[in-house]
Amino acid sequence: MYDDIVARGKRGTWRLALVGMLTVAALATAATTVVLWLRGSGSTTPSEAGGPAEPTELRLDQRAGDAAGAGPDDASGAVSVVMPADLEWQEVAGVALPVSASKGPQNTSDGLATGFAHDPAGAVLAAINIVVRVNPQNGPGVFGPTLRNQVVGPDSPALRARVESAYETLRDQHGLAYGQPVGRLYATFLGFRVDRYTDTDAWLRILGEGPDGRGGTFLSAMRVQMSWTGTDWALVAPADGDFGTAAEPVGSVEFYTRFPRS
């Protein structure tokens, strides 16, 4: 999700940049499967954009590494997870996020989403809610406290630096004062897959759908690792703070659990 920000791309081609939970950049000719993609295109929606324009795009995705377990074409190692019956959806930065009174988040004040159940369902909800809030489009009032309080691991300082740099680039591009959000994200969370779960860690994939830059959509899955801090779930920062290797195109949703929708 951040290292490199693509400021200009050839018309008709979308290059991946860094996102910040979410990042959704368009996938031009990638031969991978993936996460969720969010598109940071200011106030312009995909339909208003009139096809492949040249906005800055950010991607926030993450790979949990070999420890994630079986690949997407093998469901033998997947952990069975049932979403709670009280699942609802709340919008953050233009994206609908799954929330639950029983599984979390219990608190969404001060830019954070905290208080998730210590079980696989809680880890899934925490992953999505935290990843989205890490995006620079939210502004420092949201990504700042999220990075400080809900991102762990030796590479968390590098991730923080990438997000802050991406925010400054977008802020300058749109001529906004520091502190303001910079656009919205475009993606729909469709489901998930928990590859491995222990009392202290969870490795999972988030299934999402985003605009492909040509009037259509594409599926992707993001690999995420979560760590239990003793009181709540936290996102483990990727190596070097770079989420760029986490997005992979998904050809089949057969081995993913779909979110229930009302």
pLDDT for 152? 97
Structure tokens at 51: 């096809």
In tens, the pLDDT along 32-91 reads 222 223 333 333 333 333 332 222 233 333 333 333 333 444 555 789 999 999 999 999
pLDDT for 60? 35
**Distance in angstroms (rounded) separating the CA atoms of residues 112 and 30:** 33
pLDDT for 210? 84
pLDDT for 244? 67
Burial annotation 50-84 (CB, 10 A radius, 16+ → b, else e): eebeebbbbbbbbbbeeebbeebeeeeebbebebb
Mean pLDDT of the chain: 75
Q: How many CA atoms lie within 13 A of 91 on its CB side?
A: 6
In tens, the pLDDT along 133-188 reads 999 999 999 999 999 999 999 999 999 999 999 999 999 999 999 999 998 888 89
Would you give the distance in Å from CA 152 to the centre of its chain?
16
pLDDT for 72? 47
Q: Which of 257, 254, 207 is closest to 34 using CA atoms?
A: 207
pLDDT for 140? 97
pTM of the predicted structure, to 2 decimals: 0.76
pLDDT for 251? 83
Decide: 50 and 32 in contact? Cβ < 8 Å: no
**Distance in angstroms (rounded) separating the CA atoms of residues 160 and 42:** 21
The amino acid that residue 74 corresponds to is D
Mean pLDDT of all residues in 248-259: 89
In tens, the pLDDT along 198-213 reads 999 999 999 998 887 7
